[in-house]
Structure 1
Amino acid sequence: MVSSDAARTTGPTPSPSPTRRVSTRIGAITPSATLAVDAKAAELKAQGRPVIGFGSGQPDFPTPDYILTAAADAVHQRVNHGYTAAAGLPELRSAIADKTRRDSGITIDASQVLVTNGGKQAVYSAMATLCDPGDEVLLPAPYWTTYPESIKLAGGVPVPVTADESTGYRVTVAQLEQARTDRTKALLFNSPSNPTGTVYPRDEVEAIGRWALEHGIWVITDEIYEHLVYDGARAEPISAVVPELADTTLILNGVAKTYSMTGWRVGWMAGPQDVIKAAVSYQSHLCGNVANVSQRAALAAVAGPLDAVAEMRDAFDARRRRIVELLNAIPGVECPTPQGAFYAYPSVKALLGKPLRGATPTDTVELADLILEHAEVAVVPGEAFGTPGYFRFSYALSTDALTEGVRRVGELLSEIN
């Protein structure tokens, strides 16, 4: 009879299962497609190829000088060299409350603000604070690639509600109602939108807000592109349009887009005090305070003027008009005119399933790969945003690069019969 100890040592030692080296929760995450496209473009550029990238979701303007000065001064202040409150510097929280009143017409107290490491952390912290396992979050699609992953990481279930170019990528109350179940906890609302540039008009914002209020559904509203609107459009804050939503709304925002501060990593979440208090407790264990120098820079930004964003908006507006004109001139491409942010989201469904350079792309992932290889242009396929058959083009690049990039794409796609 073989002893149990001998039995355990007989034969080769099994290798750990690869699926068990990483948790199921983390292993299920889909990497950020926009960052992956940027990384691939950078890799090819490093090889000497003249790649033009439309993947980047960041303004191509420098952070304004007065913000840099505030950061430089902060570096030499010893008070910024140690830990500070997990919720954020009191001065910054107060300035964010003032900025919210100024720009959105919503009155909040500094105690209702949590400063986060960029907008992405604000999104995840909102989900982690609100969602229990199995709670459903309605997610208008096309959606920003990080939204569904944040919902799933928090134990929630993303429920896409899809709109297309025929409605300007705006979902309706009827669609939301059809998707609602007894597990629906929240609606994630983003206007102006990434990836489409869609801006919901006031009457539609009100209708959606009234519907959420009627059914006791939380609204998580991402307002990061609030100042980048065109053609007289206005970003209508949902809890300003429907004030009764104040107790069931979380406002997400940050300095990244308005002040060209993507790398500074300062965002925030604002909402009811009990929820913010819980989110602060969570952040105290997750990471503690946001870097103090970045917070001081953000304080200068939100307390300062909006001159810089006005200049950026004018430049983006000219590029917006140019890229829409160029894209719509390509046979088989249909591009609605975006009213906000700095993205165009054309449909290329008419070009799929047709031969191109020895291949027959059946989805926009395959078509994007062909464009990168043969036209040396990087675009983000619609699969990343929950809607295959589309591309996202960021027009946060020079007009010359934009024009040349779309010209290359059009030249390649013209080979499709």
Structure 2
Amino acid sequence: MKRITQISLVFTLLFVLVASQFSYNPRTAKAAEDNLGLKADAALIVDAKTGKIIYEKNANKVMGIASMSKMMTEYLVLDAIEDKKISWDTPVKINEYVHNLSKAPNLSNVGLTQGEEYKVKELYEAMAIYSGNAATVALTEKIAGSETNFIPLMNKKGKELGLKHFKFVNATGLSNKDLLGHFPTGDANDENVMTAKDVGLLAYRLLKDHPQALEYASISKLKFRDGKTYPNFNWMLPGLIYHYDGVDGLKTGSTDFAGYAFAGTVKRNGQRYITIVMKSTSKAQRFVDAAKLMNYAYDSFKKTQILPANYVVKGKKTLPVAKGKEDSVKIKSKSAIDLVVKNNGEEKNYTPQLVIDKSKLNKDGELTAPIKKGEKIGYLTVKKKDGSDYGFLNKDGDKYVRSDVVAAETVEKANWFALSMHAIGGFFADVWDSASSAVKGWF
């Protein structure tokens, strides 16, 4: 009886061990790890320099974006200033509709007086810092004549920037029904939509193309000419309730449809990230979610040198040269290749790839002298061993995993006598090879 009990115990232990092996699913475990305990329906973390995605949750799900829409309006305003169509000092006269919208209940606004003129800079600050909806509409009217005319510009720019799944129906991000009967396009229930990946790309391009946007997004409080002080809705800025060291932008948003959203920017020790939170559960929770994303980025990732400058690919230290004083030339990479990778040795998953400019080669695959030191002859890149892509927001990121390959020395063109001797030598070599082949054929 005792022996039977022992055997039963052994089989029970074996069953538990086997069951535990089958119950553990690495993909499920990874998903649980990557979830980070977020309340948001969708989220994203992007390296702000390269556009490399280091974390995503439902990043391709089309959702409401609310006032994060204003990042596109900001982009177009800054475009217009850069193109000298308007200036920061350009006056904007407030009409009856914009005045009425500025005092609409339950909407984010600074007070705008009908018939009064405001500078573009004042309205931009109201839009970027306090998410002023009426100020946003006033800017669209100045640039395009009306908000209705401004919407095609937003959608056109979205395509130019490479956004994939998006639709703008107004410039503010409000539901159309909140615009006092003025529908720029669509019907009363329409709202702007986008994916987290597209919101990330919009934020990325805004910072790349108009970095001055952060000068305004980073202001914690706005003192406006109506005598009031308005706090930034980004509560992670210095002095506000969810202050997080290094946060300097970018845009919040909330509607019943979109939930609570936040496009955050943060920089520490020279490393900047963009974080996107969509449809979180409350005003506060979106910042709790954003902090989790930022903590994860700084705790788990780092900028790492994948390949150093002056790198020489093994087995490809030189290239053959035709018509030169030397029959080969040394080659090397010009600059280092750096990437943000996980702190688990992920950099070991990349291998070097040498790509030579075929237009530089003759039919025999040789470079032709003369070749100057430092002359570009191709580029060096890296590929992931598992064959997956880099995970950039768009193709522009590819340039960050490329380094020009240049000649490490000068190879001068051989003089006519040397070239003649080389040609004669080649002729007799060919004759000898032919004769040798013929003699071998006799036997």
Q: TM-score, normalised by structure 1?
A: 0.27
Tell me which protein shows more strand as a share of its residues. Answer: 2
- Identify the structure with the greater helix proportion: 1
Q: Rg bigger for which structure? A: 2
